[in-house]
Amino acid sequence: MKLTHYISLRYIGVTLLVMLISIPVFYLVIQNVLTHNIDEHLKDRQSVITEKLENLTNGNVISFQEGITIEKDPVHQVEERISTENIYNKEEKETESFRVLQFPLKTSSSFYNVKISESLVETEDLLKSILYLLLSMFGLLTLTLLFINSIIKKNIWKPFYETLDQLKNFRVDDTESLHLEKTRIDELSDLNDSLNKLSATNMKVYQAQKEFTENASHELQTPLAIVQNNIELFWQTEPISEQQSEILNDISLANSRMTRLNKSLLLLSKIENKQFNNIQEVNLNQIADQFLRNYQEQIKFRNLQLETNWSTPFLVIMDFSLAEILVGNLMLNALKYAPVGSTIELNFNKDEFVISNLAEHRALDEKKLFKRFQRQNSQENSTGLGLEIAKQIARSFDLNLDYFFRENRHYFRVKRN
């Protein structure tokens, strides 16, 4: 949820709650005030009627205005009280609410039961009008809040979202750093300044590390080749003792591993520098097929079974050599770790290819799988760069390489983004 929407929902929620509480309270208060005024008016009329009845000289009840009923010498005297009654209105032909005051009166010559009624129709109409007005104000207030939120999002938060977009697209290996501009809001300007400095610093550190790796790898090529050449020359000298043979063999293995590691680091450096020289449309199915032909002997030696589904070609635009490395690393990984006599599955379609092999142990750690020098098995004789290289190649050509574990099998999938 966006921050502006989050804040707006809270504003509207609080406003709705306050209005839902205040509207009934306000309605009841107004109703009580109006009822109290009507009761006061009835009391005033009671005083006037009492005075007129006490001053009657001929004993005849004078006529009063509509809504006043006087019963002379009643059999039972009523008690004084004020109440609300529903009375049928003959003229309007409907039942209406009235506020009614009844009281007994004793004069020097007679007893009376007096009943004064006053219609509440106008009061109810007034309350309805007030209620409609409050609801209208509530609707208008809600629309105003939404409109203000839209204006705030469009104007005030615009620089923030521009900063966010640039951060989403920022890569530390890009050639240009962030160029976030100042805004009218101090906090956002401070944030942009800090991000500009942070990105520039990180890019310098990254470039320094990349240049060091690239230079060190280049410089190591010659000494490694010299060491290997001298080892081969030493093998040709005679006599060589058994102990010397073992030492030479260990040196040769270590040098070979260092050479592979050095080549892998150089390759990573070229990928990060986007040094691609052979961009073309590549059929990954054909590369996988050629790989299997080259490794037929190893496949037979380990008695591995292949299940392939590659009738639909997976075509991508990328460097041909890097495509071979991408497919080769994943297939070598499957051949290397598939148990003897198990099955390797290859599935291709126009948008992805998936390679899987049976697992001897539990699922691999996805957090470390594609990171540099992170081995899943400390005993294995690998550089720890193969999957990192495959991941970098896929990313460089708008592909995604991921891993999942299902039904005791490891799955590696390359698909279009």
In this prediction, residues 9-35 reach a mean pLDDT of 85
Q: What is the pLDDT of residues 262-298, one digit of tens each?
A: 887 778 777 877 777 778 999 999 999 999 999 999 8
CB neighbourhood size of 29 (10 A) = 10
Q: Quick one: residue 93, left, alpha or beta (phi over 0 = left, psi -120 to 50 = alpha)? A: left
Model-wide pTM > 0.85? no
pLDDT of 286 reads 93
In this prediction, residues 88-102 reach a mean pLDDT of 81
* Confidence band for 410, pLDDT divided at 50, 70 and 90: very high
Q: What is the pLDDT of residues 185-218, one digit of tens each?
A: 888 889 999 999 998 888 888 888 878 877 887 7
Q: What is the pLDDT of residues 379-408, one digit of tens each?
A: 556 667 888 889 989 988 999 999 999 989
- pLDDT for residue 59 is more than 70: no
- pLDDT for residue 17 is more than 60: yes
What angle (nearest 5°) sits at the alpha carbon of residue 14, between those of residues 12 and 17?
Answer: 105
pLDDT of 349 reads 92
* Confidence band for 64, pLDDT divided at 50, 70 and 90: low
- pLDDT for residue 62 is more than 60: no
Q: 194 is written with which tokens?
A: 């800090």
Q: What is the pLDDT of residues 114-134, one digit of tens each?
A: 888 888 888 888 888 888 888
Give the 3-state DSSP-derived string for the chain, with helices as H, strands as E and coil as C. CCHHHHHHHHHHHHHHHHHHHHHHHHHHHHHHHHHHHHHHHHHHHHHHHHHHHHCCCCCCCCCCCCCEEEEECCCCCCCCEEEEEEEEECCCCEEEEEEEEEEEEECCCCEEEEEEEEECHHHHHHHHHHHHHHHHHHHHHHHHHHHHHHHHHHHHCHHHHHHHHHHHHCCCCCCCCCCCCCCCCHHHHHHHHHHHHHHHHHHHHHHHHHHHHHHHHHHHHHHHHHHHHHHHHHHCCCCCCHHHHHHHHHHHHHHHHHHHHHHHHHHHHHHHCCCCCCEEEEEHHHHHHHHHHHCHHHHHHCCCEEEEECCCCCEEEEEHHHHHHHHHHHHHHHHHHCCCCCEEEEEECCCEEEEEEECCCCCCCHHHHCCCCCCCCCCCCCCCCHHHHHHHHHHHCCEEEEEEEECCEEEEEEEEC
* Confidence band for 356, pLDDT divided at 50, 70 and 90: very high
* Confidence band for 151, pLDDT divided at 50, 70 and 90: confident
pLDDT of 382 reads 64
